[in-house]
Amino acid sequence: MTTTTALSHVDRMAKRAAGFQPSPVRAVFDISMQPGMISLAGGNPYLPVLPMDRIATMAGEVLARRGLEALQYGSGAGTEELQALICQVMELEGIKTAPENVQITAGSQMALELVTKLFCDPGDVVIAEGPTYVGALGVFEGFQAEVAHVAMDNDGVDPDRLQEVISGLKAAGKTIKFFYTIPNFNNPSGISLSLERRQRVVDICRAEGVLIVEDNPYGLLAFDGEAKPALHTLDPDNVFYLGSFSKIFAPGLRVGWVVAPQDVRGRLQIASEATTICPSVLSQLVVEQYVSGFDWRGQIAAYSAVYAARCQATLDALASHMPEGTLWTTPSGGFFTWVTLPEGIDTERVLAAAIEAGVVFVPGSAFHADGGGTNQLRIAFSYAQEEQLTEGVKRLGEAIRSV
C-alpha cells in the first residue's frame, strides 16, 4: 500500500528557501513597463551612452579571431589576461594586488553569494549599513544569516556606532562574520564614507576580528572624476573587495570580480566552480577588448556626465515638489538619491498612489532587514531622461500629498 503525504513541494524545501523572497525592485519592474509610467525604480545604467557600433565590432572580432577559445570552457578563476587588466582598473582606487588574487565572477552579485556561502552558517551575523543593497539582503537571508544595521549620516557609517553594534552583538553571544559595506555612492542612499572615517572603520574591524566585504560597483562613477581610495588599500588582509563591469561597461555581460585575502583564494575558486564551472569566456574576452583596446576611462567620464546632469535635475525637482519637512541626500556620484519623508508617512502607501499618478519608485523598507525605512524611498536617476525625472518627481510630490 502506498502512503500519500500532505506535504507540498514548498513544504519540502530546505529551511533556507524561506529566505528566497521576490525582490521589491523586480516587483515594480512590470509596473514600470506600463505605457506612460515614469520609473524612478530600477538602477539600470544608461547604455545608449555606449558607442554600440564599436562594441559590436569588438564582439565580432572576439568571435572571428578567438572563437574556439571564447565558446569553450575556461579557467575557473577567469582568464589570466582579464585578471591582469582588472588589476589596472583597481589601481585607479589605489589597489595594488597580484592577478592571481582576482576571482572573476558572473557580476559582483555572484561574488556576494560566494563570500556569504564561504563564511556564513545559519544564525551568523552580517553587519550592514542601514539602508543597504536589497540584493545583498537577499543573499544573506538565503544563507540564514542575521543582519544587524549600522545607521549612516551624510558621511557614511559613524565608526562609534559601528563599534557599539559590534560590542553589543558580542555581548549577546553572537558570531559576527563580516561588515558588508558599499563605501562609495551607496545603493540605495547615494552616501559615501568620508576619507576621515575609512581608517577608523578598518581599524575597528581588524581589532574586533570582523572581516570587511567592500562592495564597490559605483566607485569610479564620481561626478568630479575623483575616485576615493578603497578600504582594501588600508588592510588588504582583512578586506574582500568586490568590483564589477556592470556600471562602468555593461551589466548584460555579467562580469564582476572579487579580490580575496590569499589564504581564501583557493576555496573561493572551488566554491565558484561548484556554482558555474567557469565565468563566461565570451564575456570575459569582450571585456578584455574593452579594457585593452578602447578608451574605457573616457567612457566612464561619458557615463558620469550623464548621471551628474540627471542627479542635478532630480535634486532641483525635489526642491520644487517635496512637501515641507522632507530630506534627501546630495550624491556626488552613482545612481541614487534617498528621500526621507516626515515621520508617519508610509512610502508603501505612497507607492500605491504614485502608481496611480504614473510614477514608480522602491520604498525604503526594501533596503532594511529590520522593518526600518518605512518613511523613506529610493530614487534612481540613472536611466530616466532629465524631463522624465522632473515630471516623475512632480508626480511623486502629488502622490505624497494625497495619502
d(CA 281, CA 289) in angstroms, rounded, equals 12
CB of 366 to ligand PMP, least distance (A): 13
CB of 12 to ligand PMP, least distance (A): 30
**Is residue 388 within 8 Å of residue 360, measured between CB atoms?**
no
What is the number of the residue whose Cβ is closest to ligand PMP?
107
- Binding to ligand PMP by residue 133, rule CB under 6 A? yes
- Binding to ligand PMP by residue 279, rule CB under 6 A? no
Q: What grid cell was written down for 67?
A: 572563437
- Binding to ligand PMP by residue 383, rule CB under 6 A? no
Contacts of ligand PMP in 239-258 (CB under 6 A): 244, 246, 251, 256
Given the complex with ligand PMP, which of 163 and 246 has the nearer CB atom? Answer: 246
Question: To which residue does cell 574556439 refer?
Answer: 68
- Binding to ligand PMP by residue 135, rule CB under 6 A? yes
Given the complex with ligand PMP, which of 182 and 239 has the nearer CB atom? Answer: 182
Count of residues touching ligand PMP (by CB under 6 A)? 14
Burial class (CB in 10 A: 0-12, 13-18, 19+), 196: exposed
Given the complex with ligand PMP, which of 163 and 299 has the nearer CB atom? Answer: 299
CB of 379 to ligand PMP, least distance (A): 14
Q: Which of 144, 262, 156, 167 is nearest to 199 (CA)?
A: 156
Given the complex with ligand PMP, which of 246 and 280 has the nearer CB atom? Answer: 246
Contacts of ligand PMP in 60-119 (CB under 6 A): 107-109
Given the complex with ligand PMP, which of 163 and 284 has the nearer CB atom? Answer: 284
- Binding to ligand PMP by residue 280, rule CB under 6 A? no
Given the complex with ligand PMP, which of 93 and 215 has the nearer CB atom? Answer: 215
End-to-end Cα separation, the chain, in angstroms? 60
Given the complex with ligand PMP, which of 131 and 251 has the nearer CB atom? Answer: 251
Given the complex with ligand PMP, which of 116 and 244 has the nearer CB atom? Answer: 244
**Is residue 101 within 8 Å of residue 262, measured between CB atoms?**
yes
CB of 3 to ligand PMP, least distance (A): 45
Give the distance, in angstroms, between the CA of residue 270 and the centroid of all CA atoms in the same chain.
24
Contact pick of 39, 79, 101, 187 for ligand PMP (by CB under 6 A): 187
Given the complex with ligand PMP, which of 246 and 269 has the nearer CB atom? Answer: 246
- Binding to ligand PMP by residue 272, rule CB under 6 A? no
CB of 271 to ligand PMP, least distance (A): 16
Contacts of ligand PMP in 10-49 (CB under 6 A): 43
- Binding to ligand PMP by residue 182, rule CB under 6 A? yes
- Binding to ligand PMP by residue 181, rule CB under 6 A? no
- Binding to ligand PMP by residue 139, rule CB under 6 A? no
Contact pick of 217, 331, 363, 397 for ligand PMP (by CB under 6 A): 217
**Is residue 178 within 8 Å of residue 210, measured between CB atoms?**
yes
Given the complex with ligand PMP, which of 134 and 345 has the nearer CB atom? Answer: 134
Residues in the site for ligand PMP, rule: CB under 6 A?
Answer: 43, 107-109, 133, 135, 182, 187, 215, 217, 244, 246, 251, 256
